[in-house]
Amino acid sequence: MLQCLSKLNLPDYVLEILDHSKGVIIPKTRAELLELAMGNAENKEYHIEYDVKGKGMVLEAIATRCTNGIVVNYMEDYMRRRDPNCTIIADDKPTDKPRYEDVYKSDFKSLRKETFDWLKDQELIFFPFKSGGVEYGYDSVLIAPINAGFFAAGLADLQGFENIDDIKEFDLKAIVYLAPPFRHTHFNGKQVVIHNRLDQIHEVYSYNLYPGPSAKKGIYGVLLNIGESEGWVTAHASTVKVITPYDNEIVIMHEGASGGGKSEMIEDIHREMDGRALLGTNTVTGEKSYLVLNDSCDLIPVTDDMALCHPAIQNESKKLVVTDAESSWFLRLDNIKHYGSSPQYEKLLIQPEEPLVYLNMKAIPGATALPWEHIMDSNGKPCPNPRVILPRRMIEKAIDGAVEVDVRSFGVRTPACTKENPSYGIMGIFQVLPPALAWLWRLVAPRGYNNPSIIDSLEMTSEGVGSYWPFATGKKVTQANLLLDQIVNSSNTRYVLIPNQHIGVYEVGFMPQWVSREYIARRGSAKFKPEHLVESRCPLLGFGLESLKIDGQYISRAFLRPETQHEVGLEGYDAGAKILTDFFKQELAQYNTEELNPLGRQIIDMFYKGATVEEYMNVIPMRY
């Protein structure tokens, strides 16, 4: 084994863990990983459990073999979604995140040694992978206990799994250590992921079995850290090339906090059984508004959640250029509630080319796991975070390579708004933003209403800079400067803001982004003439639309400008605008420091002085 590992140039302390362990399995194929996920080839069910000091054997999850893959269900509701506050920093490099020694009043070195000692007492899975995908990714390795095969398989799918026999050169940049029992022995049952940024290697310690905060978002943190040192970012975004029935093409990148509609942006528009699209339902009167689209656009997916904005792929177009930072997509399936909800995904998930890894789904050994049958939480309601890890190679027409972004949209989950119960749900079907305002939205990144992906009791909080702050390890102001440079350097990319869930009093789900996508693509460009735009009463919302006509049908002004809704009116709108503005005042204060780019300080100062939309446009011009 040591001869096999020698070409990886592993540190001595890693070799010591592997050499002193009870055995090491180095899988070389995906099939081997899936077999490890079930313990062996014969098991129909597999209990993932650990001997925890003071608690005995603790059952963390059950893996079930179904005809279309392996379904993993956690015993605790808490472990079925990501804790947004799980990231802890162990090193002394610059950070705005909580430090281990401050939170736990002890030196991380002792916990690091305990972790290594525990791993030495296990049979292990070890394999190399590329953080950020095969083409532009960074050499990394996983060390995990043998019974966590599903976690290893999930990480291998999400990142760029490598057969160790095929590796010629290896420059180790990241290590993921998995030690699930420490959740109970050291962290009171909480999800904790600790980042230790050494000078040459970024260590990620996953002290829980949910792959979201470690195998996915932990690696995202690795990429953001590397980007900080090299001057680029990995955007929290889906990207899709949209081709209209008339063969016009446009690329839209949709950013936003978890639940902001990234995966939905690359889904076909959802329709009723009669083919119509339900635009919205008035939550007061029950009135439904429909849209008939005889021909919808073709969608060519590029990224689902992580868009690599690597300097190696930028060009002279003055548009942002992105490529996928993932080898698989961690799709949330809560939007598939019944057969026919999402035909393009249902076929992939029910009859996949290869077995898939599912989380939080109803599972019967030997049966087919159905994407609309989600595991029930202890409250008797379906888990809001059912997931599947879907390899990109199984997604028809997915683009492998870089694309130029015409439009960057930002998604926000919004509650219903009425004059009696005002809220920040005052955005029209989409708002056109000048670049300076687009930057402010990426600093604040509202997490928004009723988020299904994470554990959070508040209606409106900030996901933080770029909407990727929960995964970052450095300083917010550093990322703010990188994003501003990116926006200034991408002057031919345009910006829109799209709500989901509600427009004023109307419940709309993700229909606004599907309709916006269809409309923007049909225009043949992302350009909006001044006469098509109306300056919003709330300057943070840039411009609304004077009218919107699609396939010969005008969308009601109620969906374009919520203040025209009887149930909202100017009274409800202005109260909602104050809620939104006050929230921005609260969140932007932390960025207004000497470390911020002077242009950024100017924009934030303008906001506090009540700048108009036109004034924002004068700072960074908006291309019509």
Both 442 and 561 in one domain: the answer is yes
% of the chain surpassing 70 pLDDT: 97
Give every CB contact of residue 102 below 8 A, 6+ residues apart in sequence: none
Higher pLDDT, 134 or 285: 285
| 450 pLDDT more than 70 | no
Per-residue pLDDT tens for 246-260? 888 999 999 998 789
Residues 161 and 173 in one domain: yes
Q: What is the 3-state secondary structure (H, E, C) of 526-584?
A: CCCCHHHEEECCCHHHCEEECCCEECCEECCHHHHCHHHCCCCHHHHHHHHHHHHHHHH
DSSP code per residue over 377-429: PTTSSBPS--EEEEEGGGSTT---S-EE-SEEEEEEE-----SSS--S----S
| Residues 388/333, Cβ–Cβ less than 8 Å | yes
- DSSP string across 592-622: -STTS-HHHHHHHHHHHTT--HHHHHHHSPP
**For position 247, what pLDDT does the model report?**
87
CATH code (residue 600): 3.90.228.20
* Mean pLDDT confidence for 618-622: 94
Show the tokens assigned to 276.
Answer: 């119509």
Name the pLDDT band for 3 (thresholds 50, 70, 90): low
Is residue 53 classed exposed, middle or buried when 0-12, 13-18 and 19+ CB atoms within 10 A define those classes?
exposed
- Is 539 part of a structural domain of the chain? yes
Q: Do both 190 and 251 map to the same domain? A: no
Whether 361 is covered by a domain: the verdict is no
Do 415 and 547 lie in one domain? The reply is yes
Q: Give the DSSP per-residue string, 423-438.
A: -S----S-EEE-HHHH
d(CA 203, CA 523): 47
The pair of structure tokens assigned to 31 is 């099939």
pLDDT, tens digit, 9 for 90 and up, residues 155-164: 999 998 999 9
- CA 86/CA 123 separation, integer angstroms: 27
Label residue 459 by pLDDT band (50, 70, 90): low
Write out pLDDT tens, residues 107-126. 999 999 999 999 999 999 99
Mean pLDDT confidence for 126-139: 93
* Residues 607, 546 share a domain: yes
Q: Which residues pair with 194 in a beta bridge?
A: 88, 205
In a domain, 325, yes or no: no
Identify whether 50 is part of a domain.
Answer: no
> Average pLDDT for residues 558-584, to the nearest whole number?
97
**Where residue 524 falls among pLDDT bands split at 50, 70, 90?**
low
Q: Say if residues 555 and 440 touch (Cβ distance below 8 Å).
A: no
Are 142 and 290 part of one and the same domain?
no
pLDDT at 341 over 90: no
What tokens were used for 577?
Answer: 């605008």
Of 116, 154, 141, give the one whose Cα is nearest residue 17. 116
> What pLDDT is attached to residue 453?
54
Domain containing 21 equals 2-29+79-230
What own/partner pairs with CB < 8 Å and gap ≥ 24 does 162-168 have?
Answer: 162/127, 162/128, 162/129, 162/130, 162/134, 163/28, 163/29, 164/4, 164/5, 164/8, 164/26, 164/28, 164/127, 164/128, 165/28, 167/7, 167/8, 167/128, 168/7
Q: How many domains does the chain have?
A: 2
* Residue owning tokens 């893996």: 63
495 close to 483: Cβ distance less than 8 angstroms: no
Regarding whether 217 and 262 lie in a shared domain, the answer is no
Q: Is residue 152 part of a domain?
A: yes
d(CA 66, CA 60): 19
With a cut of 50, say whether residue 457 has pLDDT above it.
Answer: no
pLDDT at 454 over 60: no
pLDDT value, residue 235: 97
> Given a cut of 60, is residue 455 above it in pLDDT?
no
pLDDT of residue 70: 98
In this prediction, residue 526 carries a pLDDT of 58
Give how far Cα 118 sits from Cα of 52, 85, 124, 218, Å. Answer: 11, 25, 11, 21
User: Which region among 9-18, 460-469, 567-576 has the lowest average model confidence (pLDDT)?
Assistant: 460-469
Considering the chain, what percentage of its residues have pLDDT values greater than 90? Answer: 85
Cα separation, 238 vs 399, in Å, equals 12
Q: Does the residue 390 lie in any domain?
A: no
* pLDDT number for residue 1: 56
Checking if the pLDDT of 340 tops 90, the result is: no
What is the residue-averaged pLDDT of the chain?
94
Nearest in space to 256 (alpha carbons), one of 306, 201, 185: 306
pLDDT confidence tier of residue 141, bands split at 50, 70 and 90: very high
Tell me how far apart the alpha carbons of residues 94 and 472 are, in angstroms, rounded to a whole number.
12
Structural domain includes residue 397? no
Q: CA–CA separation, 585 vs 364, rounded Å?
A: 51
Average pLDDT over residues 62-76: 98
pLDDT digits (tens, 9 = 90+) for 302-336: 999 999 999 999 999 999 999 999 999 999 898 88
Q: Which residues contact 193 (CB under 8 A, 6 or more apart)?
A: 86, 87, 88, 204, 205, 206, 207, 208, 213, 214, 217, 218
Q: Is residue 241 domain-shared with residue 162, that is, in the same domain?
A: no
> Where among 195, 230, 265 does a domain terminate?
230
Rounded alpha-carbon distances, angstroms, from residue 419 to 416, 475, 519, 544: 10, 39, 30, 20
- Confirm whether 48 is domain-assigned: no
Domain finish residue from 197, 230, 263: 230
Do 114 and 179 meet the contact criterion of CB atoms below 8 Å apart?
no
Q: Which of 315, 314, 319, 344 is nearest to 331 (CA)?
A: 344
Residue 562 has pLDDT above 70, yes or no: yes
Given a contact cutoff of 8 angstroms between Cβ atoms, the answer to whether 336 and 384 are in contact is no
Asked whether residue 442 falls in the same domain as residue 549, the answer is yes
Q: Among 230, 247, 267, where does a domain finish? A: 230
Same domain? 481 vs 417: yes
Q: Which CATH number belongs to the domain containing residue 149 in this structure?
A: 3.40.449.10
Does residue 220 sit in the same domain as residue 287? no
Nearest-angstrom CA–CA distance, 205 and 213: 11
CA–CA gap between residue 589 and residue 336 (Å, rounded): 39
Same domain? For 440 and 560 the reply is: yes
Cα angle at 299 between 293 and 304, to 5 degrees? 125
Helix (H) and strand (E) counts in the chain: 17, 30
How far is residue 487 from each of residues 310, 318, 421, 482, 490, measured CA to CA in Å?
14, 10, 36, 9, 5
Assign 458 a pLDDT band (cuts: 50, 70, 90).
very low
Predicted confidence (pLDDT) per residue in 197-213, tens digit: 999 999 999 999 999 99
Res 343 pLDDT > 90: no
